[in-house]
Structures are given as structure tokens and as C-alpha cells.
């Protein structure tokens, strides 16, 4: 498992500002899409753990980690990377708790993003 880098920030404020400067009003729509896709991805991850589909679990965790990094979601990125590592190592005992940590990171991330952007509509 990768070591947790402190501080364990939920969002990277500087990176979010850069996204705002680069994409302007479009960034809110990008964030809404990211949130919706992440909800669906976490549901798929849960099913893949139940199905013991290690390769598909790795792929979903890898995609989630990359998306989280793109949208400055530091904590979610790290938790998804932990899940990705567990899938690579085939550490089945770590799948469920690591996925739960990623889901909790997403709940916190979504709340922080909602404070920064209008996520309705």
C-alpha cells in the first residue's frame, strides 16, 4: 500500500483555481459529470468486489484515481490508488475496506466540491 502523504487534503485548492482559470464557466459542468460518473464507478467497484473480478476492479480503481487527480480530489485519488494497488497485489482481504475508504473519501470530496461549485443542474 502507498504511504499516506500528509496533509491529507480533500481538494487541492490551487489546482481547482487553475481549472477555473483554464475552463471558466465550463468547469462546473465538468465537476458535475465527474461526481455522477464517480457515483456509478463506486457502485461498479462494489459489484466487482462481490464478483472477485480483480482485473476489472483494477481498471475501475485506476480510472477513478486518474479522474480524481484531474479534478484536484487529492484524498479520493490516494484512496483509489490504494484500491488499485490492492487489486494489483490480489489482496482480496483489502478490497472491501479499501473501497469503503474510497467511498468515504468521495462523500467528503462531493461535499467540498458542492461548497465550491453549484452541483445541481
Q: Where are the domains of the chain?
A: 26-116
What pLDDT band is residue 118 in, cutting at 50, 70 and 90?
confident
Tens-digit pLDDT profile for residues 39-71: 999 999 999 999 999 999 999 999 999 999 999
Burial class (CB in 10 A: 0-12, 13-18, 19+), 91: middle
Instruction: Report the CATH fold assignment for 26-116.
Output: 1.20.120
Measuring CA to CA, which residue among 103, 100, 116 is closest to residue 30? Answer: 116
What gap in Å lies between CA 67 and CA 58, rounded to an integer? 14
The reply to whether the predicted model has a pTM over 0.85 is yes
Residue 73, SS3 per DSSP: coil
Under a CB-based contact definition with an 8 Å cutoff, are residues 14 and 90 in contact? Answer: no
Alpha helices by DSSP H, the chain: 13-23, 26-51, 54-70, 74-89, 92-116
For cell 481538494, what's the residue?
11
Largest CA distance in the chain: 43
Tens-digit pLDDT profile for residues 100-112: 999 999 999 999 9
Amino acid at each position: 500500500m502507498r504511504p499516506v502523504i500528509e496533509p491529507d487534503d480533500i481538494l487541492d485548492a490551487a489546482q481547482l483555481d487553475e481549472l477555473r482559470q483554464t475552463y471558466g464557466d465550463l468547469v462546473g459542468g465538468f465537476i458535475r459529470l465527474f461526481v455522477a460518473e464517480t457515483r456509478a464507478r463506486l457502485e461498479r467497484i462494489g459489484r466487482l468486489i462481490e464478483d472477485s473480478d480483480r482485473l476489472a476492479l483494477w481498471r475501475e480503481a485506476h480510472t477513478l484515481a486518474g479522474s480524481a487527480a484531474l479534478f484536484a480530489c487529492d484524498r479520493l485519488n490516494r484512496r483509489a490508488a490504494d484500491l488499485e494497488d490492492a487489486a494489483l497485489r490480489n489482496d482480496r482481504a483489502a478490497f472491501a475496506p479499501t473501497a469503503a475508504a474510497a467511498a468515504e473519501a468521495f462523500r467528503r470530496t462531493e461535499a467540498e466540491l458542492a461548497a465550491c461549485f453549484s452541483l445541481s443542474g
